[in-house]
Every structure is written in C-alpha cells, then in structure tokens.
Structure 1
Amino acid sequence: MSNLFKAFLDLLPDRPLLVGTVLSVANSIARVELPGGGMVQAHGQATAGQRVFVRDGQIEGLAPGLPVEIIEI
C-alpha cells in the first residue's frame, strides 16, 4: 500500500531558491533585496552588502558575486 500523504506532497512544487543582496540585519533577521526589486526577510547569519541564497525564509549560504541578467517572458 502506498503512502497517500507522501504522494500528495510529491505533487507540490519545491520551494524556490532565491538570490539577493542583504540590505540590513537586525536580531538575526536580514532584509534581502531580490534582483527584480522585491524584498524578503530571512533568518540567518549575514552582513549588509553580501549576496546570499534564500529559501523559505532562511539564508542557506553566500552566493557568488556574478552579474545578474533578468529576462522577462
């Protein structure tokens, strides 16, 4: 017998991995600006000016300082 709850969870999309620049940090909550101009708040260790990976409100690590190209479809 298969697990119906696991089958249901497999239908849901994965949380996206975002990249952005930290604008400010207060009480381990970073305010991160995304390339499109959006803002998110994330928990984790970072300093202002760093580029970070963010997923589901958590900073997952530092992002490389590569140029970002936005393509609208």
Structure 2
Amino acid sequence: MATTNIWQQFKALIPEGVRVIATITANNNNGTSQAELRDGSVITVKGESVSVGEKVFIQNGEVKAAAPNLAQYEVEV
C-alpha cells in the first residue's frame, strides 16, 4: 500500500511564487517590459506579449497573461 503525504498534496494546490497585477507602461524591444504596480512603483519584467496600457498578471518577474480591466475597490475590515 502506497503512503500519501497530505502536506505535499496540499502544497501542490498552491501555485509557486507571488502573482501580481500591473499595467504595462513600455515594451523595451529586448524581451522585457516596464510595468507599473498598483502602488505606483515601476518594475522591469520578462515578456513583451502585451501592449502598452493593458493590465497583466506577473509571476516570478515574468508576464504570464493579459488581465481583465476590472474596477478596483479598497475595503477596510
């Protein structure tokens, strides 16, 4: 009978790395883009697949996909 490690199964459900949403401000024509985070800071990320002005998902410093342009709300609890 094979044993199962429940902790390893649980960890497999959680994606690796942090995923953030940012707005592309420039494509650098060298495989990287400039992205502005919601707090106003600008970072350089790998990937140029998304046009300037569009929102993207960034994970581990790389553009993963375009993100929908949805309204943002801030709530204090």
Q: Residue 34 of structure 1: which of 4, 12, 37 is its match?
A: 37
Q: Which runs of 4+ in 1 moved over 3 A?
A: 70-73
Answer with 1 or 2: which has the greater Rg. 2
How far apart, CA to CA, are the structure 2 residues paired with 1:69 and 1:36?
Answer: 14
Number of the residue aligned with 1:62: 66
The amino acid of 2:70's aligned partner reads L
How far apart, CA to CA, are the structure 2 residues paired with 1:31 and 1:71?
Answer: 28
Structure 1 residues 67 and 15: alpha-carbon distance in aligned structure 2, compared to 1, 3 A threshold: same
Sequence identity percentage? 23
Number of the residue aligned with 2:22: 20
State how many pairs are aligned: 63
Shift of 1:39: 1.6
TM-score with structure 2 length normalisation? Answer: 0.67
Which 5+ residue runs of structure 1 have no aligned equivalent? 1-6
TM-score with structure 1 length normalisation? Answer: 0.71
The amino acid of 1:22's aligned partner reads I
